[in-house]
Structure 1
Amino acid sequence: MDRLFLTSLEGGSYSCKHCHAHLALAQDIISRDFYCRHGAAYLLKKVVDCKKT
């Protein structure tokens, strides 16, 4: 069974719109003009609280 460890980020951060877990700091944004197959997205240098699936 996997354990869930959440990191709390200080300052301006981005979080999941569903569970509100912190994902990345505003300073970690590389580009806001990034697109993936699901549409517009942010390209980030570093993220936290993400599990590989």
Structure 2
Amino acid sequence: MAAGVGYDLSAGCKPLLLFPRGLPAIGAVLAMDRAGKGLHTPPRDAMISLALL
């Protein structure tokens, strides 16, 4: 479930980068994107490692 939330968060942040309203806003969007990537990477890696067994 966390992987899905991470993918959704990362994907939802991308369109927000089209409308920059200043450096703090861009930083916040990038932070949300990185948080989403942090949520989906470990479960994805675990699923890949289990599939290779």
| TM-score, reference length from structure 2 | 0.22
Considering Cα pairs closer than 8 Å and 6+ residues apart, tell me whether 1 or 2 has the greater RCO: 2
- Would you tell me which structure has more strand in proportion to its own residues? 1
- Would you tell me which structure has more helix in proportion to its own residues? 2
Which one has a bigger Cα radius of gyration? 2
| TM-score, reference length from structure 1 | 0.22
